[in-house]
């Protein structure tokens, strides 16, 4: 099928795509996700996200790239993100389906959590580091994911790799302008500034995580942990005072295991602040001592005996868009060789044809 790839410049180019089978691995209200094997123009296991469109116009590069998620992902490329590799459009039941070919990892953090799986301290730090790398990359591009939660985090337990996925709610931030309704982010992970009604967003949204059953309950839980927002907090966030009972702050320690290391508490305290301006940025979090174990030499081994994944280039905020792996390089080299052979054959045929014409002219 015909599709499009993305150049380093962010421009799109036409490309022929070929897949070998697929299976449904996730479904939602507006999209389905399939896992399959791509065999051209590169060889790798991929996820294909099918997004339903209201448009009935036949899919071409203009109509497909109007899709918001494609516009956002075209600006991003990072090893801790489920990157957009290619995209194409197809028609089904008189509607256009936007198909996004993305990086794939086999497990979803939410499903592991629901199965009762627990990570040891080192693995928890490895995965947390990668998640903050992804958020830091987004912040460097002036983009907010707006839906960071376990359901949107994919991983591979064997290799220890993690990627932030599903950019359907992501948006590009414009400097300090009003960015819309505060009813954003899945409720259980919604930061206090949105719960309090703030409509000016920042990348600090992506560093927050909490739990609750509804918006009011969420506010009660947050104020129960951190206390009622101060005058300074209210002024900084730019909202009215929340209508909840004023309680004395009980602190994060009340709700977490006493076995947690001090540097883990430092991470929680620096990111879970009522005032988004006082939260550490993702880039600042990556420099914290909590991740020293990942940077240690000699490198530690994980509980499954595997080496730590190589994360040296993860803190690079603007890595180059690179799709090639060894198998793909060999595949591409063969394509180039085949093209050269075809050109030589064409030249030979052309030369032979010219010789015959010369011979005919001489005989005349």
What three-state secondary structure class fits 18? strand
Q: What strand order describes the sheet that includes 107-108?
A: 107-108, 153-156, 161-164
**Catalytic residue (choose from 103, 123, 147, 166):** 147
What number of H helices and E strands is found in the chain? 11, 12
pLDDT range class, residue 246, cuts 50, 70, 90: confident
Residue 320 is given by DSSP the state P
- CA 1 to each of CA 34, 40, 186, 283: distance values in angstroms, whole numbers, following the listed order: 17, 10, 35, 40
Cα 323 to Cα 320: distance, rounded to the nearest angstrom:
10
pLDDT range class, residue 209, cuts 50, 70, 90: very low
Q: Assess contact for 34 and 21: CB atoms under 8 A.
A: no
pLDDT range class, residue 212, cuts 50, 70, 90: very low
- Spell out the alpha helix ranges (H) of 74-178: 109-114, 121-140
Cα 45 to Cα 85: distance, rounded to the nearest angstrom:
11
- Per the model's pLDDT, the better-predicted residue between 20 and 271 turns out to be 20
Residue 213 pLDDT greater than 50, yes or no: no
217 catalytic? Reply is: no
- Per the model's pLDDT, the better-predicted residue between 207 and 97 turns out to be 97
Residue pLDDT, tens place only, 170-200: 988 775 444 554 445 555 555 555 654 556 6
Residue 281 pLDDT greater than 70, yes or no: yes
Using alpha carbons, select from 8, 93, 14 the residue that is nearest to residue 61: 14
Domains of the chain: 2-103 (3.30.200.20), 107-295 (1.10.510.10)
Q: 230-239: which pairs have CB atoms within 8 A and are 24 or more residues apart?
A: 232/275, 233/274, 233/275, 236/275, 236/276, 236/277, 236/278, 237/192, 237/193, 237/196, 237/198, 237/274, 237/275, 237/276, 238/198, 238/200, 239/193, 239/196, 239/197, 239/198
Q: Assess contact for 317 and 283: CB atoms under 8 A.
A: yes
Q: 305-309: which pairs have CB atoms within 8 A and are 24 or more residues apart?
A: 306/158, 306/159, 306/160, 308/126, 308/160, 309/126, 309/159, 309/160, 309/161
Range name among 135-144, 249-258, 285-294, 322-331 with the lowest pLDDT average: 322-331
pLDDT range class, residue 92, cuts 50, 70, 90: confident
Q: Assess contact for 53 and 95: CB atoms under 8 A.
A: yes
Cα 59 to Cα 198: distance, rounded to the nearest angstrom:
38
Cα 246 to Cα 229: distance, rounded to the nearest angstrom:
9
Cα 311 to Cα 293: distance, rounded to the nearest angstrom:
12
The token pair at 214 is 């509804």
Residue pLDDT, tens place only, 42-83: 999 999 999 987 665 555 555 566 788 999 999 999 999 999
Could you tell me the maximum CA-CA distance found in the chain, to the nearest angstrom?
A: 108
Tell me, yes or no, if the pTM score tops 0.85.
no
- Per the model's pLDDT, the better-predicted residue between 103 and 323 turns out to be 103
Per-chain mean pLDDT for the chain: 80
Residue 22 pLDDT greater than 60, yes or no: yes
What is the per-residue pLDDT for 198? 57
* % of the chain with per-residue pLDDT over 90: 37
Cα 338 to Cα 310: distance, rounded to the nearest angstrom:
35
Average pLDDT in the 345-356 region?
A: 76
Residue 155 pLDDT greater than 90, yes or no: yes
Alpha carbon 205 to its chain centroid, in Å, reads: 15
The token pair at 233 is 């907090």
pLDDT range class, residue 124, cuts 50, 70, 90: very high
Q: Assess contact for 10 and 72: CB atoms under 8 A.
A: no
pLDDT range class, residue 335, cuts 50, 70, 90: low
């Amino acid at each position: 099928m015909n599709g499009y790839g993305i150049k380093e410049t962010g421009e799109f180019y036409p490309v022929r795509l070929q897949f070998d089978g697929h299976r449904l691995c996730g479904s939602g209200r507006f999209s389905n996700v399939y896992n399959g094997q791509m065999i051209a123009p590169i060889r790798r296991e991929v996820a294909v996200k099918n997004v339903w469109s209201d448009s009935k116009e036949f899919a071409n590069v203009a109509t497909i790239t109007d899709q918001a998620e494609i516009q956002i992902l075209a600006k991003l490329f990072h090893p801790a993100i489920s990157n957009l590799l290619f995209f194409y459009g197809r028609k089904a039941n008189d509607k256009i389906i936007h198909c996004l070919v993305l990086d794939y990892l086999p497990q979803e953090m939410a499903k592991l959590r629901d199965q009762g799986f627990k990570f040891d301290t080192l693995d928890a730090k490895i995965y947390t580091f990668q998640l903050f790398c992804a958020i830091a990359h987004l912040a460097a591009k002036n983009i907010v994911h707006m839906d960071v939660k376990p359901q949107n985090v994919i991983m591979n337990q064997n290799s220890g790799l993690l990627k932030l996925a599903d950019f359907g709610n992501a948006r590009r931030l414009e400097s300090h302008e009003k960015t819309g309704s505060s009813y954003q982010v899945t409720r259980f992970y919604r930061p206090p500034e949105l719960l309090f009604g703030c409509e000016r967003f920042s990348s600090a949204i992506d560093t927050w995580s909490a739990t609750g059953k509804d918006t009011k309950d969420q506010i009660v839980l947050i104020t129960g942990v951190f206390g009622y927002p101060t005058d300074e907090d209210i002024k900084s966030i730019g909202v009215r005072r929340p209508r909840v009972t004023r309680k004395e702050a009980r602190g994060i320690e009340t709700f977490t295991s006493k076995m947690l290391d001090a540097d883990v508490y430092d991470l929680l305290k620096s990111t879970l602040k009522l005032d988004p301006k006082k939260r550490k940025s993702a880039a600042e979090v990556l420099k914290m001592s909590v991740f020293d174990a990942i940077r240690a030499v000699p490198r530690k081994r994980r509980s499954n005996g595997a080496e730590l994944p190589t994360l040296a280039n993860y803190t690079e905020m603007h890595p180059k868009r690179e799709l090639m792996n060894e198998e793909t390089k060999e595949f591409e080299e063969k394509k180039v060789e085949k093209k050269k052979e075809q050109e030589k054959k064409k030249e030979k045929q052309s030369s032979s044809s010219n010789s015959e014409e010369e011979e005919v002219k001489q005989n005349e």
